[in-house]
Structures are given as C-alpha cells and as structure tokens.
Amino acid sequence: MFSHGRGSRIWDVDGNEFIDYTLSQGPLIHGHSHPEILAAVAEALGRGQIWNGVFPQEIELAEKLVEIIPCADLVRIGCTGTEAVQAAIRVARAATGRSKIIKFEGHYHGWLDNVAASINPTLEQAGPKESPNAVPWSGGMGPAALEDVIVLPWIDSGAILRALTKYKNKVAAIIAEPCMCNAGCIEPPPGFLNGLRRDCDVHGTVLIFDEVITGFRLSLGGAQQHYGVTPDLAVFGKAVAGGFPVSVLAGRTQFMQVLADGRAIHAGTLNAHVGGVAAGLASLRLLEADNGAAYRRLYELGGRLRDGIAAIAGELGLVLKVTGPGPVFHAGFLRPPALDPIRVTVQNYRKVVAVYDTEQYAAFVRGMATRGVRLIGRGIWYVSTAHTDADIQQTLDRVRETLEELKLTAGQR
C-alpha cells in the first residue's frame, strides 16, 4: 500500500522508499508528481472541470497531436486506452463495412470482451500455431464475444497473408502493438511492419497501431515515427498526459470522417476533461523542450540500465535475457537448457511462455523490493525523465546484490 510518490521514487504507508520502474504501468513518463504538470492542472481546474463543449486548450492539444503524430489528420480525445481501442475498431468497421478483426497472441488491447482474446493463454489453450484459438481472457465473457476475432502469431507474415486471403473482404482491421510490450517487449524485425502496411493496403484492411504503451515513449510521434511505418488509425494513452486519464484516437481523414459525419459515434461524458487536457499539454511541452532532450535522456538511461542488467547477469553466469528499445524493456530468466541469452531468439508470445522462468523472475522482483526497487512481476521496466544517473547506478548495484543472492540460493538447492 503506497502513500505518495515524487520524481523517480514512491513510498509505502510504512515509510519504505523505492526507486520506481513500474511508473503505474507506464503513464508516469515524467515520474511522480511533476511540478509543471500539477501546476498546469491546478490552474486549469480553477476555471472548471468539464463543460460538454469545446474549449481553447482542447483545440490546442488536438492541434499539437496532429502536428506530432504521423497518422493524425484528425483526433478524438477520450479517457482510457480501452475505450479508444473500441472507437478505433468501430471506425474501421464503419469505414469498410466489414466486421472481422485480426489481433495477435500476447497483444493487449484493453479489457472489454470483443478484444480480450489470447492475451496470456497457456500453450495448451492456445492451440496449433497455424490456426490459434481465440482464448477468452476472463470469466464472464459471452460465448459470442470473440466470434469476429481472428488470432494470429506475432511476426508471422505468412500467417497474416493466409488469413487475409481466407477471409477476403471480411477483415475490417488488423490491430497490433507495433512493439509487443505486454509480452517480452519484442521489437518488430526490419521490414515486418512495412509488410503489414502493404498487406493491409492490398486487401483494403485498416491498420491500427495500439500505441497505448509506445506512444510518446519511443518518440514524440510514437512507435510509428520510431519505426517509420504509418498506420491508418492509432490509439494512445498512458504517457500522453503524464499520469492523468487521457487517451487519443488519431487517424487519416478518410477513416476519421465516419466520426465527423456521424456514421459512427464516439461518446463519453468525461472526454477531453479540463484537467486531463492541461496535463497533456504540459507533458508534451516537457517532451518537446530543448529539441527533444527528454528522449535522448530516456534512451541513454534506459539503455544503460538495460545493458547493465544483462552484463551483470552474464558476469555471474546467470541466463537472463533483456530486450527492448530502452525507455521500456523486458527482463526475464531463461529456462534450462538455454545457455546463452544472446543466441535465444524470442519473436512471439509462444516463445515467451516457453523460454521464460516466471517463478525465478518473481523471486528477483521480491529481492529487489527488499532493496528498495519496485518492479512489475511480468518483466517490463519503464524509465522516466525523473530518473537520474544515481538512480541507475544504485539500481544496478541492487541488481548485482539480488542476482548474487539468487545464484547462491540456487546453488544450495
């Protein structure tokens, strides 16, 4: 149970202090309680909370998003990534007149029934790789919830092309995390996203990037700018407002027009609430400042931390693999008989399940917590602009201590 956070640190109710790499699952790209964000929100809330009407700062935020996001001709501002995904799917269906959606194993697009498929199934549940099952994520989902969902393995261009051919003129959209952050932080190999773009163009299918994690973290223009591939629609959340509940649906005019002319509806009483819009403007200003110095810092610190963890594990003879671009990355212990993390290739969810030892990583997380470092149990690390060189060095020292303890414990079994 936590009581407060400031900068890169968070404190629990017992007064214990932690360097925080969970960052509330990613939104706190500027750390906890950034004074400029809080001041902007306080000033805005002094004028009102929500007006059910357009206001100047909303237009300012929309114009800024259009300026910096490659696919953004038009934008809609909402509250959560989950609802923005639903809006994107509705737009794709309205624009194409089709109903089916392709998603990938291990990718997360919110908790609602129609996309909550094959997020973390067992390998037995997942079924054959050539034709994966659409495995419900939760109890309470209706039997028809996933009937329009086609689940495919990630980074398998052949499977994508076969599905588009099999369901010709029925697939409204392909939705994907451009970097699979939710399971293994797997970056796309060169050319994969370009191929996905081409396949969608050929088959008249809308390409949706779920940038709820990657947006404003990999670059100011998101993963689409970072990897140089522009989708038709994109969904943003988490880092857009530095910890306040704001999401964005951005897209090309030809698709977003279905919202503008009323063929599809995106509603929400709290959309573009005053505090969230102010937080978004403040957060983006911080990311743009000094010609993008924040990104240079995120990559520098994140890369040093990522590579340092891998180097320490290698020195100690532990088989720990660390992957990801830097501002967000994944760490995990490999199961035997793996001997060299560099030679083990992890390209999809099934490989994540097969090769990573979650129990050993859970022990690592517990050991780091006792040493004042807070981590997420599934292996993802987030770095913020509030982290310092001293934080990184202290964290690497704690990593060494924890890994030495784990190695000693394993040797005594």
Residues 135 and 161 in one domain: yes
User: How many Cβ atoms are within 10 Å of 364's Cβ, its own excluded?
Assistant: 24
Residues 252 and 316 in one domain: no
What CATH number is attached to the domain comprising 316?
Answer: 3.90.1150.10
Residues 172 and 309 in one domain: no
Residues 6+ apart with CB under 8 A from 302: 325, 326, 327, 328, 329, 381, 383
Residues 362 and 235 in one domain: no
Q: Would residue 321 show up in a list of annotated catalytic residues for this protein?
A: no
Out of 284, 301, 322, a domain closes at 284
Instruction: Give the pairing of strands 100-104 and 149-152.
Output: parallel
First to last CA, the chain: 33
Residues 317 and 203 in one domain: no
Q: CA distances (Å), 264 to each of 94, 127, 136, 146, 397, in order?
A: 6, 35, 27, 21, 53
Residues 353 and 394 in one domain: yes
Residues 6+ apart with CB under 8 A from 23: 29, 31, 382, 384
Alpha helices in 97-210 (DSSP H): 123-126, 157-166, 192-203
Residues 268 and 402 in one domain: no
The H or E element containing residue 249 is strand 247-251
In 167-194, which positions are buried (b, 16+ CB within 10 angstroms) versus exposed (e)?
beeebbbbbbbbbbbbbbbbbbeeebbe
Q: Would residue 351 show up in a list of annotated catalytic residues for this protein?
A: no
Map 34-86 to HEC letters. Answer: CHHHHHHHHHHHCCCCCCCCCCHHHHHHHHHHHHHCCCCCEEEEECCHHHHHH
Q: Would residue 391 show up in a list of annotated catalytic residues for this protein?
A: no
pLDDT at 344: 87
Say how far apart CA 103 and CA 118 lie, in whole Å. Answer: 9
Peptide bond into 336 cis (omega under 30): no
In 282-316, which positions are buried (b, 16+ CB within 10 angstroms) versus exposed (e)?
bbbebbbeeeeebbebbbebbbbbbebbbebbeee
Q: CA distances (Å), 296 to each of 9, 289, 327, 376, 381, in order?
A: 21, 11, 10, 24, 18
pLDDT (tens place) for every residue of the chain, 413 residues total: 999 999 999 999 999 999 999 999 999 999 999 999 999 999 999 999 999 899 999 999 999 999 999 999 999 999 999 999 999 999 999 999 999 999 999 999 999 999 999 999 999 999 999 889 999 999 999 989 999 999 999 999 999 999 999 999 999 999 999 999 999 999 999 999 999 999 999 999 999 999 999 999 999 999 999 999 999 999 999 999 999 999 999 999 999 999 999 999 999 999 999 999 999 999 999 999 999 999 999 999 999 999 999 999 999 999 999 999 999 999 999 998 877 888 888 999 999 999 999 999 999 999 999 999 999 989 999 999 999 999 999 999 999 999 999 988 876 44
The half-sphere exposure of 382 on its side-chain side, counting CA atoms within 13 A, is: 30
Q: Which of 20, 156, 199, 210 is catalytic?
A: 210
Out of 243, 268, 284, a domain closes at 284
> Token pair of 235, please?
């969904």
Residues 179 and 322 in one domain: no
Determine the structural domain holding residue 394 and report its residue range: 2-33+292-411
pLDDT at 341: 87
- Residue found under tokens 């704690």: 398
Out of 284, 302, 319, a domain closes at 284
CB-based contact 93:100 (threshold 8 Å): no
Residues 8 and 46 in one domain: no
Report CA Rg, the chain. 21
Instruction: Give the pairing of strands 233-236 and 74-78.
Output: unpaired
Q: Which of 20, 64, 108, 382 is catalytic?
A: 108
Residues 75 and 185 in one domain: yes
Residues 279 and 319 in one domain: no
Q: Which of 100, 238, 321, 351 is catalytic?
A: 238
Burial of 12 from C-beta contacts in 10 A (0-12 / 13-18 / 19+): middle
Burial of 50 from C-beta contacts in 10 A (0-12 / 13-18 / 19+): middle
pLDDT at 411: 60
- Output the CA torsion 230→235→238→244 (10° steps): 130
Say how far apart CA 102 and CA 171 lie, in whole Å. Answer: 7
Residues 45 and 27 in one domain: no
What CATH number is attached to the domain comprising 177?
Answer: 3.40.640.10
Number of structural domains found in the chain: 2
Partner residues linked to 16 by β-bridges: none
Q: CA distances (Å), 222 to each of 99, 129, 351, in order?
A: 27, 30, 26
Say how far apart CA 214 and CA 197 lie, in whole Å. Answer: 18
